[in-house]
Amino acid sequence: MKIVVNGEQRETEEPLTVAQLLETLQLRSEQVAVEINLKILDRGDFLNWNLHDGDKVEILSFIGGGSPT
């Protein structure tokens, strides 16, 4: 199936969950927010949310840092 991840088209095997996609991309689910077709997913849905042909996936990574006050 073909999906778009952060603006880049990717071919993947079906079925594929959001959790499996994150694992493939070597991303930790605790450190990202995921949007599928303009819907923000709850982290608890990553294991059960199946991706489908044509889905548009946006993954935002959180990076800590800054200076202490």
Question: CATH no. for residue 8?
Answer: 3.10.20.30
Could you read off the pLDDT of 11-67 as tens digits, one per residue? 998 899 999 999 999 999 999 999 999 999 999 999 999 999 999 999 999 877 666
47 within a domain of the structure (yes/no):
yes
67 within a domain of the structure (yes/no):
no
**pLDDT of 3:** 98
**pLDDT of 1:** 96
**pLDDT of 13:** 87
Within 13 Å and on the Cβ side, how many CA atoms surround 6?
9
Q: What CA–CA distance (Å, rounded) separates 57 from 60?
A: 10
What is the domain count for the chain?
1
Q: What CA–CA distance (Å, rounded) separates 67 from 21?
A: 33
10 within a domain of the structure (yes/no):
yes
Cβ atoms < 10 Å from Cβ of 51: 19
**Residue-number span of the structural domain to which 16 is assigned:** 2-61
**pLDDT of 66:** 65
